[in-house]
Each structure stands twice: as C-alpha cells, then as structure tokens.
Amino acid sequence: MTRSWIAERVKGATDRLDAEHKGLVAYIEFARAHPNLYRIIEEAQFVAPDAYKAHYDSFADRYRRNLEDAAERGEISDGNQETRAWALIGMSVFLGLRFGIWEPERSADEIAREASDLISRGLAP
C-alpha cells in the first residue's frame, strides 16, 4: 500500500531529485492519512521481525534500482546506491514519524523542501 501510494504521487516527476521531493511529500502524507497502518509497520519489528525486514529489504531493493537508473541517466551522481537507498528510507521513516504522526501541523511540502535541499546539496557550505 505504501509503495503504490508513493508511486502514484511521483508520476510525472521531471527527474530523480524531483521524484525524491514528491516521494517524501507522499510518504509524510501517507503517515498522516494512515497513522494506524504506519504504526503497525513499525511495531512489526517486534512481533514479526522477518516480515518487517522483508518489507524494508524489498523497498530498498526497488529504491536502489531506481537510483541506479537515475545515475545512468546522469540525474544523480555515481555512488553506492544501496547505501543511499537505505539512508533515504531512514530519512523518510523518521520524517514521517516526526511530522506525520507526532506533530503533523507543518506542511508536508515545506518539510520535503528542507529535506530535498539536504539531498541535493548535502551539508557542505
């Protein structure tokens, strides 16, 4: 459900960085629209750790392939796309928790813009 929610909302992205922004907006909105499902996924790590790991392994594998494709198109830099996929997933999960579940008052687009700046420009001055 999460993947199809995000996939529908990143359709028409102009490039990988635009897809990252739209995907993060979608992820935060998913957490807001489905807080119980979001919680179930996170609680699965305690009651069904194999299923929980499989969920994220599958998500990360698809994410890695998308990043590899984007690197081949020259939309993002070369690098270890598996590590990047997991890092981006971690960012999404915790931003979804913080701004989707705990404090949903801020605009999802505003949060995604700030995270997108980090994704596209890093922390370097």
Indicate the domain borders of the chain: 2-61+89-121
Structure confidence at residue 125 (pLDDT)? 86
**pTM of structure:** 0.91
- Which tens digit of pLDDT belongs to each residue from 74-98? 999 999 999 999 999 999 999 999 9
- Which tens digit of pLDDT belongs to each residue from 11-26? 999 999 999 999 999 9
User: Mean of the per-residue pLDDT values for the chain?
Assistant: 94
With 0-12 CB in 10 A as exposed, 13-18 as middle and 19+ as buried, what is 58?
Answer: exposed
Structure confidence at residue 124 (pLDDT)? 86
